Chains A and B, each alone.
Chain A
Amino acid sequence: MSPIVQGILTIIIGVGGCIGYFYASNILLDRVIFPPKTDDQGRNIRRATMVRPWLFLLPAILALGLYLVYPVVGSFLRSLYNRSGNEFVGFGNYVQMFAEHGFRVALFNNFLWVVFVPAGATFFGLLVAQLTDRLKWGNIAKSLIFMPMAISFVGASLIWKFVYAADPDIGIINAIRDYFGAAPVDPMQIPFWNNFFIMFIMVWMQTGFAMVILSAALRGIPEETIEAAIIDGANPFQIFFRIKVPQIAGTIVVVWTTITFLTLKVFDIVYTMTGGNFDTEILPSYMMDYMFRDDGRATAVAFVIMVIVTPVMIWNIRQARREL
Chain B
Amino acid sequence: MDNIAGKKSGLSIVTNLSVLVLVVLWLIPTIGLLVSSFRDRDQISETGWWLALFPVEQAVRITPEMGDVTQEGDLYVVSGNVFGADGSGSVAAFGITSRDPGAAEAGQTYGRLKLEVLDEEGEPDTENYETAWPVDGTPEIPETDEDGRAVQSYTIDRALTMQPNGDYVWRQASEPRRAPALYVVSTQPPDFGLQNYETILTSNNMDQAFINTLTVTIPATVIPILIAAFAAYALAWMDFPGRGWLVAIVVGLLVVPLQLALVPMLTLHNEIGIGQSFLGIWLAHTGFGLPLAVYILRNYMVGLPRDIIESAKVDGATDFQVFTRIVLPLSFPALASFAIFQFLWTWNDLLVAKVFLPSNSESWVMTVKIADDLLGSRGGDWGILAAAAFVSIAVPLLVFFAMQKYLVRGLLAGSVK
A residues touching B (Cβ–Cβ < 8 Å)?
3-4, 6-7, 10-11, 14-15, 18-19, 22-23, 26, 30, 50, 52-54, 56-57, 59-61, 63-64, 66-72, 74-75, 78, 124, 127-128, 131-132, 134-135, 138, 141, 143-155, 157-163, 165, 167-172, 175, 204, 207, 209, 212-213, 216-217, 220, 223, 226-227, 230, 236, 251, 254-255, 258, 261, 264-265, 267-268, 271-272, 284, 287-288, 291, 295, 298-299, 301-303, 305-306, 309, 312-314, 316-317, 319-321, 323-324
Cβ B2 vs Cβ A134 within 8 A: yes
Q: Measured between C-beta atoms, what is the minimum distance from A230 to chain B in Å?
A: 5
- Could you jot down 13 A-B contacts, CB within 8 Å? A53-B239, A61-B231, A66-B268, A132-B19, A152-B396, A158-B386, A170-B48, A172-B48, A209-B411, A212-B408, A220-B416, A302-B263, A306-B260
Q: What separation, in Å, do the CA atoms of A78 and B263 have in the docked complex?
A: 8
Tell me whether B393 and A151 are in contact (CB under 8 A). yes
Q: Which residues from chain B contact A159 at a C-beta distance below 8 Å?
A: 29-30, 32-33, 389
| A298, B263: Cα distance in complex, Å | 8
Which label, helix, strand, loop or mixed, suits the secondary structure of the B interface? helix
Instruction: Report chain A residues within 8 Å CB of B294.
Output: 60
Interface residue B122 (Cβ < 8 Å from any Cβ of A): no
Q: B residues 226-241 with Cβ under 8 Å of A? A: 226-228, 230-231, 233-235, 238-240
Q: A131-B15, A216-B412 are in contact. Are A150 and B248 (CB under 8 A)?
A: no
**Interface status of B69 (Cβ within 8 A of chain A):** no
Cα(A207)–Cα(B405), bound, Å: 18
- Residue interface bits B316-337, CB-to-A below 8 A is 1, else 0: 0011100100000000000000
Q: Among B48, B212, B238, which residue has its beta carbon within 8 angstroms of that of A3?
A: B212
**B261 nearest CB neighbor, chain A only:** A71
Cross-interface CB contact of A60 among B36, B48, B218, B290, cutoff 8 Å: B290
Check A155 against B389 for contact (C-beta < 8 Å).
yes
Output the least CB separation between A88 and chain B (Å): 16
Residue contact B6 to A230, C-beta cutoff 8 Å: yes
Q: Point out the residue from B255, B371, B392 that lies within 8 Å of A316, measured CB to CB.
A: B255
Residue pair B263, A158 in contact (C-beta under 8 Å): no
Which interface residue of A30, A131, A165, A298 has the most chain B CB atoms within 10 A?
A: A131
How many Å from the CB of A159 to the closest CB on chain B?
Answer: 5
Nearest CB of chain A from residue B89's CB, rounded to whole Å: 22
Residue of B nearest to A63 (CB): B287
Docked Cα-Cα span, A212 to B283, in Å, equals: 31
Q: Which of B78-86, B182-190, B347-355 faces chain A?
A: B347-355
B234 contacts A53, CB within 8 Å? yes
* Apart from A68-B291, A70-B264: 11 A-B pairs, beta carbons within 8 A: A6-B278, A22-B320, A145-B23, A261-B257, A265-B258, A268-B367, A268-B371, A284-B259, A291-B262, A317-B252, A323-B417
Residues of the A chain whose Cβ atoms lie less than 8 Å from the Cβ of B344: 149-150
Q: Is the CB of B264 within 8 A of A7?
A: no
Could you list which residues of chain B lie within 8 angstroms of chain A, going by C-beta atoms? 1-2, 4-6, 11, 15-16, 18-20, 22-23, 26-30, 32-33, 36, 44-50, 211-212, 214-215, 218-219, 222-224, 226-228, 230-231, 233-235, 238-240, 243-244, 246-265, 267-268, 278-279, 282-284, 286-288, 290-291, 294, 318-320, 323, 344, 347-351, 354-355, 363, 367, 370-371, 375, 382, 385-386, 389, 392-393, 396-397, 399-401, 404, 408, 411-412, 415-417
B28 and A54 form a contact (CB under 8 A)? no
In the A-B complex, the 3 residue pairs with the smallest Cβ-Cβ separation, listed nearest first, are: A67-B287, A74-B264, A152-B348
DSSP class of A's interface residues: helix, strand, loop or mixed?
Answer: helix
| Contact residue among B226, B250, B396 (Cβ-Cβ distance under 8 Å from A151) | B396
A124 contacts across to B, CB distance below 8 A: 22
Distance to closest chain B CB from A242 (angstroms): 15
Closest residue to B227 on the A side, CB-wise? A59
A141-B23, A254-B415 given as contacts; is B260 within 8 A of A320 (CB)?
Answer: no
CB distance from B295 to the nearest CB of A (A): 9
A71 to B355, CA, bound (A): 15
State in angstroms the CA–CA spacing of A75 and B256 once bound together: 12
Known: A22-B230, A57-B246, A150-B400. A312 touches B255 (CB 8 A): yes
Shortest distance in angstroms between A312's beta carbon and chain B's nearest beta carbon? 7
Contact of B252 among A57, A141, A271, A313 (CB under 8 A): A313
Q: Out of A141, A158, A223, which one reaches B389, CB within 8 Å?
A: A158
**Residues of the A chain whose Cβ atoms lie less than 8 Å from the Cβ of B29:** 159-160, 162-163, 204
From the candidates B4, B238, B392, name the one contacting A52 in the complex (CB within 8 A): B238
**CB of B213 to closest CB in A, whole Å:** 10
Contact A261 B4, beta carbon cutoff 8 Å: no
Write the nearest CB–CB distance from B212 to chain A, whole angstroms.
6
Closest to B235 in A: A57
Residues of B within 8 A of A169 (CB): 45-48
- The answer to whether A254 touches B226, judged by C-beta atoms less than 8 angstroms apart, is no
A74 and chain B: residue at smallest CB distance: B264
* Inter-chain contacts of A236 with B (CB < 8 A): 11
Inside 8 A of B2's CB, which chain A residues have their CB?
A: 134
B194 to chain A, nearest CB (A): 19
Q: In the bound complex, what is the Cα–Cα distance between A302 and B258 (angstroms)?
A: 9
Could you say which residues of chain B place their CB within 8 Å of the CB of A162?
A: 29, 32-33, 36, 49, 382, 386
The reply to whether A302 and B257 form a contact with Cβ atoms under 8 Å apart is yes
> Contact: A305 with B257, CB < 8 Å?
yes
Q: Are the CB atoms of A19 and B226 closer together than 8 Å?
A: yes
Q: Which residue of A lies closest to B257 (CB)?
A: A305
Query: Within the assembled complex, what's the spacing in Å between the Cα atoms of A252 and B341?
Result: 21
- A157, A230, A272, A302: the one contacting B260 at CB < 8 Å is A302
User: Are A320 and B22 in touch, CB under 8 angstroms?
Assistant: no
Q: How far is the CA of A23 from the CA of B230 in the complex (A)?
A: 11
Instruction: Give chain B residues whose Cβ lies under 8 Å from the Cβ of A131.
Output: 15, 18-19, 22
> Smallest CB-CB separation from B245: which chain A residue?
A321
